[in-house]
Amino acid sequence: MALKATICRAALQVADMDRNYYAEHALTVARHPSETDERMMVRLLAFALNAHEHLAFGKGLSDTDEPDLWQKDLTGAIELWIDVGLPDERAIRQACHRAKQVVVYTYGGRKADLWWEKIQGELKPLKNLTVIKIAPETTRALAAFAQRYLNLHCSIQDGAMSIVDENGSVPVEMAVLKKGETEGR
């Protein structure tokens, strides 16, 4: 018998002073049976960093033809494709052909470093691709927040970000490994 996804609900308040974006999002996150707390929280982090009224969770782990998050325009064209983890080069290339902008949020410490060393040369020509590495301390601290019902506050100012819940605050440490030339956000 197949295991079912766990449904998590998140109330996410975003105050992004860098983009002048302030909103509250009531999110339903379907957590795949194989997904860790860390990965689920990185998906929520990616949502907060790119928050928009049209940004939505894709099928991600359940369907390799869909990203973890995406934003479509009113015609259905994909404006933003977001993957989390260590996607393979072919999947990234396909995403770059399908979407105006692609962002990969990678995490996992040394494993992410090795992935990037192996793949970066092949991805250099992709002008609409941004790759961001999230520090292991950040993802571990966010994983500690994971539960079925989340109430998160995200603050972004001058490139610095923090996520707060009732148990504390996590400063988000990230490094841009590759910056895309088309920034549509």
Question: What does the pLDDT look like over 8-48, one tens digit per residue?
Answer: 899 999 999 999 999 999 999 888 888 899 999 999 999 99
Q: What is the pLDDT of residues 135-175, one digit of tens each?
A: 999 999 999 999 999 999 999 999 999 999 988 999 999 99
Mean pLDDT over all residues of the chain?
91
User: For residue 185, is it within any domain?
Assistant: no
Locate 181 and state its tokens.
Answer: 């030339």
CATH number at residue 139: 3.10.640.10
User: For residue 50, is it within any domain?
Assistant: yes
Tell me the percentage of the chain whose pLDDT exceeds 90: 82
Residue 62: what pLDDT? 56
* Range 59-85 average pLDDT: 86
Nearest Cα to Cα of residue 87 among 37, 135, 123, 52: 123
Residue 184: what pLDDT? 46
Question: In terms of DSSP H, where are the helices of 64-168?
Answer: 89-98, 110-123, 136-143
Nearest Cα to Cα of residue 56 among 89, 38, 79, 39: 79
Least confident of 60-74, 94-108, 112-126: 60-74
Domain holding 50, by residue range, is 6-178
Contacts by residues 36-40 (CB-CB < 8 Å, ≥ 24 positions apart): 36/143, 37/143, 37/146, 38/107, 38/139, 38/140, 38/142, 38/143, 38/146, 39/84, 39/85, 40/8, 40/146
User: For residue 170, is it within any domain?
Assistant: yes
Model confidence at 185: pLDDT above 50:
no
Number of domains in the chain: 1
Give the 3-state secondary structure of residue 99.
strand
Query: What torsion, rounded to 10 degrees, do the Cα atoms 132, 137, 139, 144 define?
Result: -170
Residue 171: what pLDDT? 96
User: For residue 183, is it within any domain?
Assistant: no
Residue 3: what pLDDT? 67
Q: What is the pLDDT of residues 86-117, one digit of tens each?
A: 999 999 999 999 999 999 999 999 999 999 99
What distance in Å separates the CA atoms of residue 167 and residue 54, rounded to the nearest whole number? 29
Q: 149-157 and 6-16 as β-strands: parallel, antiparallel, unpaired?
A: parallel
User: For residue 140, is it within any domain?
Assistant: yes
Confidence of residue 63 (pLDDT cuts 50, 70, 90): low
Model confidence at 61: pLDDT above 80:
no
User: For residue 32, is it within any domain?
Assistant: yes
Residue 181: what pLDDT? 85
Confidence of residue 2 (pLDDT cuts 50, 70, 90): low
User: For residue 59, is it within any domain?
Assistant: yes
